[in-house]
Amino acid sequence: MKPLLIAAGLALALLPIWALESFHLFQLTLAVIMALAVLGLNIVTGYNGQISLGHGAFFAVGAYATAIPMSLLDWSFWATLPVSAIVCGVVGWGVGFPALRLGGLYLALTTFALAVAVPQILKHKAVEAWTGGVQGLFLLKPEAPAWLALSPDQYMYLVALLVAGLCYLLTANLLRGRIGRAMMAVRDNPTAAEAMGMDLASLKTRTFAVSAIITGMAGSLSAAVVEFVAPDSFTFILSISLFVGMVVGGVGSILGSVFGGLFVLFVPNLAEAISRSAPGVIYGAILILFLFILPDGVAGLVRRFTTKKRIIPGRETS
């Protein structure tokens, strides 16, 4: 059953390369990227219980970590990925430290401050020579090798799918194991976790680092797909949409992050298609509807259908 499911999933993921025309493929590429960014956020907020409203900042750092070497030093896209991972990991780890002292809402506001600050820091004159200031940086997306015979859009989708798929696989592996259980233990009951001998400080900062790396990878991909980065691309709205995507998709769910990414990209378009004059209202209504009908996110719905009802002895089934 399982290998069959995996094969079906893989086929479903690859099908759009031939089935969709270039604009829709481009949109889907962006959705894959958003899904990856939401996954990053889900690691730290969903699995580790640390609320972050600032993941747009890591997205931006990842995007610039790819754009600067590609645009100014003519690096290939693939070579920038490790650099981006290291930079984002270090930044995420650094942000993890205040997180040790601040919990819940205070942490949310601290990370939010980060999201507000990053676009302005990118414009600062000390880094302007590198970031291009307000004007941003232009780069060229990687070209498909000749033997693949794919158009740039098809190739970019494949690249995004590959990077995102790898990140999803690694994350799933991480969360299923010992470390994943430790993360969740810290989320559910930090005191008990500490009593069991877990090093809270190191666990929390490292979780932040991993989360930042994953969201940073999404940023790197986005820079390559859009072929342009500017501070205005990474306003705090981005952080909020990632958060919305995570909640709608399903907090603490890997599969939910995929739905979150689709929501982030397609629902604003849907809202605009319904009403040109008040898309914000429609967006809000759709969001509320989602939260009412699917309180555990899309992933919760999937779970409800796939898991069998457990009957606990001595309790009425509801």
- HSE, CB side, 13 Å, CA atoms: give it for residue 70: 28
Cβ of residue 178: shortest distance to another protein, in angstroms?
Answer: 38
The region of 21-29, 46-54, 177-185, 307-315 touching another protein under the rule CB under 8 A is 21-29
Cβ of residue 80: shortest distance to another protein, in angstroms?
Answer: 18
The answer to whether 275 contacts another protein (rule: CB under 8 A) is no
Amino acid residing at 112: F
The answer to whether 27 contacts another protein (rule: CB under 8 A) is yes
Using CB under 8 A, which residues numbered 109 to 128 contact another protein? 123, 125
DSSP 3-state assignment of 138?
A: strand
Give the x-and-dash track for 234-263 against another protein (CB under 8 A): -x-xx-------------------------
The answer to whether 74 contacts another protein (rule: CB under 8 A) is no
Cβ of residue 147: shortest distance to another protein, in angstroms?
Answer: 24
Of 82, 59, 216, 72, nearest to 130 (Cα)? 72
- The runs of H, that is alpha helices, within the chain are 2-14, 16-19, 22-41, 55-72, 77-101, 104-123, 125-131, 152-176, 178-188, 190-195, 200-226, 236-249, 254-274, 279-293, 297-306
Of 62, 47, 52, 49, nearest to 174 (Cα)? 47
* Tokens 């949310």 found at: 108
CB proximity list for 96: less than 8 A, separation 6 or greater: 204, 205, 206, 207, 208, 209
Cβ of residue 280: shortest distance to another protein, in angstroms?
Answer: 6
Cβ of residue 282: shortest distance to another protein, in angstroms?
Answer: 11
Using CB under 8 A, which residues numbered 195 to 234 contact another protein? 222, 226-228, 230-233
Question: Rule CB under 8 A: which residues touch another protein?
Answer: 21-24, 26-27, 30, 123, 125, 133-136, 138, 222, 226-228, 230-233, 235, 237-238, 268, 272, 276, 279-280
